A = this chain, B = another copy of it.
Amino acid sequence: MRADAQRNRDQIVAAAQIHFRESGFDVPMEEIARGAGVGVGTLYRRFPDRDSLIWATAQAVLRDLADMAETAWREEPDAWAALCRFLRGCAERRLGALASAIEPRLHASIQSDPELRSSRQTVSDLVERMTAAAKADGAMRPDVSPAEVGLLMTVRIYTPSDMSDDQAMRRVVDIVLDGLRTGREPDPRKATQARSGCR
């Protein structure tokens, strides 16, 4: 039954991630439970209160984020491309919404949790490395600090209903990335993918 339990736990965290994103961190626990296909009791067995569930969600997201940063750094041909991929990944994950929601609730424990600490460290190390390398390559403006890149990781926008949230985020991140680059193509072609082609 260990296998079952683990599967349930995973489903709960997955459902929580979805519901938190869709309906905010105040969604009824029962809805999350329903989304995970379990009873409330099961949810509460694993996560004694709402905060601990938010916590688990945050861990999952941060872990995933750290992975993503490492992959980007490893796979992309240069630092600037890695940074682009990383910031787009942050946007896709709606990092800003998560961070804003978590901070006021879990302030105290955020610093102390070793798991979280480690993921954060990984991420901030890589941001620093990517930033430095991209500047050294001459691809990125030298007057933007890693702390500022940290801010950009959490950019959010309001998406009007006649647009897809993902698409809107992508456009905004592209503009932001353009704000970070040094050169500017002599003839910037129209369109998202053109503008954000990282090299």
Contacts and interface: CB of A to CB of B under 8 A. Distances in A.
Interface in A160-192: 160-161, 163, 168, 171-172, 174-180, 182-184, 188-191
Contacts of A142: 188
A73 to B, nearest CB: 22
Q: How many copies does the complex hold?
A: 4
A3 interface: no
A175 B179 contact: yes
Contact of A176 (B147, B154, B179, B189): B179
Interface residues of A, number: 43
Contact of A107 (B143, B151, B158, B161): B161
A159 interface: yes
A163 B182 CA distance: 26
Contacts of A85: none
A113 interface: no
Contacts of A103: 158, 160-161
Nearest to A171: B148
Contacts of A95: 158
A157 B175 CA distance: 15
Interface string A87-105: 0000000011001100100
A50 interface: no
A26 interface: yes
Contacts of A160: 103, 150
A158 B99 contact: yes
12 contacts: A96-B156, A96-B158, A103-B158, A141-B188, A142-B188, A143-B189, A151-B157, A151-B172, A155-B157, A156-B156, A176-B179, A183-B184
